[in-house]
Amino acid sequence: MSNNKIKIAIAGIGTVGKGLLDLLLKYKNNETNLEISAIASRRKFKVESRKFKNTLIFADAKELIDFDDYDILVELIGGDEGVSKNIVFDALKKKKNVVTANKALVSKYWRELHSLMKKNESILKYEAAVAGGIPIIKVIDEFLVSNRIKKIYGILNGTSNFILSNMLAYDKNFKKILNDAQKLGYAESDPSFDVDGTDTAHKLSILSSLAFNYNNKTENIKNEGIQNVELQDLKIADSLGYKVKLLGLTEIEKKKVKNFVYPCLLSKDSFIAKVDGVYNAIVVESDFCKKSCFIGEGAGAHPTATSVLSDIIRLSDKRINQKKSSVFVKHKEISLESRFGSYYLRFTTDDRSGVISGIANQFKKYNISMKSMLQKESRTKSDRYATIVITTHSCFEKNMMQALDKINRLNFIRNKTVYLRIEDFK
Ligand SMILES: NC(=O)c1ccc[n+]([C@@H]2O[C@H](COP(=O)([O-])OP(=O)(O)OC[C@H]3O[C@@H](n4cnc5c(N)ncnc54)[C@H](OP(=O)(O)O)[C@@H]3O)[C@@H](O)[C@H]2O)c1
């Protein structure tokens, strides 16, 4: 690093990149030792500030490969391959430090990035990659360093949380609220990764790898999204005292780790059930600090840029010289099949006798006991059918799936049974 100034090169001036420039300009009155030596932006942009008078502007971030006049690369392009991967890997090999918001890249190349850091004595920081405005990486990496983390769970995707909260609040179905979210800029034009659970799985893999010191690949996480969640289930869950949230959960038990992403029912009294809209909420359970809960904006230009700048400032402090280990532990995965928990089930059946006993018989075979049941007669113009909602006591997922498979084949079942898991968090 140069003697006085810390030189940074920024790649990508999109949502987060622009947010970072705003913060850097605001920051100019403070005594900072940051100098922006280069900006790579495909789009034309203008910043009239003395702060950028010595800044080189590149039209493509790939030009940063032949550029050396920086101490910290800030990668804000995104994507797990191509130019973002090339410049990050290149910078680490050049013994530069790197700050990124790129969850896809960090989760995919966790092992390789840690090897590069170790080999080249460089540092990669990625606070913004998980829950933009919540400093959860620093919590795990620094604050809880003296504790043993047992479990991390929460709402890691603001778009899904916005959709689930607003479906119920405005009595609208998934498609309509997704449309609203896109108009308001809370969902991208292609929202697949947000709603199908992939984005949550990326973030969970990072949290899990960091907390349990291993290499948890996103593809090992079985994720279910919210795209099939129906308004009527949100309403019934609400009447039963629950909220439906897209949950990411990672937990270690005797060197075995479970990593689940699925929409589930949470008691309205639990910490995270109260968190609605675009907010994220993360609970960390550890042996001495017990339960810590963090709530904040999960995305957006300025919350995310705040995380990015905090990493830059941390790296520019020469007193801090963190070296991360690249020796990972191997943990066995606990499969979803062995999940032991309770369930919400909605059956659509013929409205006749023998239905409840038919369901109960299968429950008995698979060791499943009912906790509550409500039944209502439903009608279309020409037809009469029954909606039966059952919540269960805890049972194994494998048993539940086998029972549902059998039940769905019974002749009185009209539609495939809807199931959601219930998590018993306080
Ligand atoms: N947005 C958020 O709230 C948020 C929150 C947390 C983390 N993140 C992460 O932050 C990163 C950036 O996200 P974003 O929302 O800011 O994305 P974005 O708005 O799409 O910005 C990315 C920018 O990079 C530019 N770019 C692409 N290839 C380039 C190249 N070869 N050279 C120079 N510039 C190039 C794009 O230019 P064009 O405009 O020409 O395509 C675009 O302006 C991603 O990894 C994302 O996952 C975002």
Is residue 163 a contact partner of residue 179, using CB atoms and an 8 Å limit?
Answer: no
Res. 296 pLDDT band, cuts 50 70 90: very high
Rounded Cα distance, 160 and 196, in Å: 9
State how far the alpha carbon of 301 is from the alpha carbons of 21, 101, 129, 133, 340, in Å: 10, 11, 13, 10, 39
Kindly give the distance from the C-alpha atom of residue 318 to the centroid of ligand 1, in angstroms, as a whole number: 29
Q: What is the mean pLDDT of residues 104-126?
A: 96
**How distant is the alpha carbon of residue 397 from its chain centre?**
23
Candidate from 76, 102, 107, 218 with most ligand 1 atoms within 8 A of CB, to mutate: 76
Residue percentage of the chain with pLDDT more than 90: 82
Instruction: Enumerate residues lining ligand 1, CB below 6 A.
Output: 11-17, 40-43, 60-62, 76-78, 83, 101-103, 128, 132, 299-300, 304
CATH of 6-129, one of 3.40.50.720, 1.10.1270.20, 3.40.605.10, 1.10.20.10: 3.40.50.720
| Residue of 297 and 381 predicted with greater confidence | 297
Q: What is the mean pLDDT of residues 156-168?
A: 97
Residues 6+ apart with CB under 8 A from 190: none
Is residue 176 a contact partner of residue 187, using CB atoms and an 8 Å limit?
Answer: no
Per DSSP, the three-state class of 118 is helix
Look at residue 28 in the predicted model and tell me its pLDDT. 60
Q: What is the mean pLDDT of residues 39-66?
A: 88
Res. 357: pLDDT tops 90: yes
Q: Which atom of ligand 1 is nearest to the CA of 18?
A: 16
Fold designation for 337-423: Alpha-Beta Plaits (3.30.70)
Neighbour tally for 121: CB within 10 Å: 11
| Residue of 84 and 299 predicted with greater confidence | 84
Res. 31 pLDDT band, cuts 50 70 90: low
Look at residue 348 in the predicted model and tell me its pLDDT. 97
Look at residue 328 in the predicted model and tell me its pLDDT. 84
Res. 324: pLDDT tops 80: no
Residue-wise DSSP of 48-115? --GGGTT-EEESSGGGGGG----SEEEE-S--SSHHHHHHHHHHHHTT-EEEE--HHHHHHTHHHHHH
pLDDT tens per residue across span 381-390: 788 899 999 9
Q: Name the pairing type of β-strands 6-11 and 72-75.
A: parallel
Amino acid at position 99, single letter = V
Task: Identify the CATH number of the domain defined by range 136-297.
Answer: 3.30.360.10
Which of 203, 243, 245, 258 is the catalytic position?
A: 203
Burial of 147 (0-12, 13-18, 19+ CB in 10 A): middle
Q: Which atom of ligand 1 is nearest to the CA of 61?
A: 32
Look at residue 142 in the predicted model and tell me its pLDDT. 94
Rounded Cα distance, 5 and 8, in Å: 9
Kindly give the distance from the C-alpha atom of residue 304 to the centroid of ligand 1, in angstroms, as a whole number: 12
Neighbour tally for 187: CB within 10 Å: 22
Burial of 327 (0-12, 13-18, 19+ CB in 10 A): exposed
Q: Which atom of ligand 1 is nearest to the CA of 14?
A: 21
Q: What is the mean pLDDT of residues 44-51?
A: 75
Q: What is the mean pLDDT of residues 148-156?
A: 97
Domain ranges across the chain: 6-129, 136-297, 337-423
Nearest Cα residue to 160 out of 140, 177, 136: 177
pLDDT tens per residue across span 64-112: 999 999 999 999 999 999 999 999 999 999 999 999 999 999 999 999 9
Kindly give the distance from the C-alpha atom of residue 77 to the centroid of ligand 1, in angstroms, as a whole number: 4
203 belongs to the catalytic site? yes
Q: Which atom of ligand 1 is nearest to the CA of 299?
A: 3
Q: What is the mean pLDDT of residues 170-189?
A: 91
Res. 3 pLDDT band, cuts 50 70 90: low
The lowest-confidence range among 137-146, 199-208, 340-349, 376-385 is 376-385
Look at residue 255 in the predicted model and tell me its pLDDT. 87
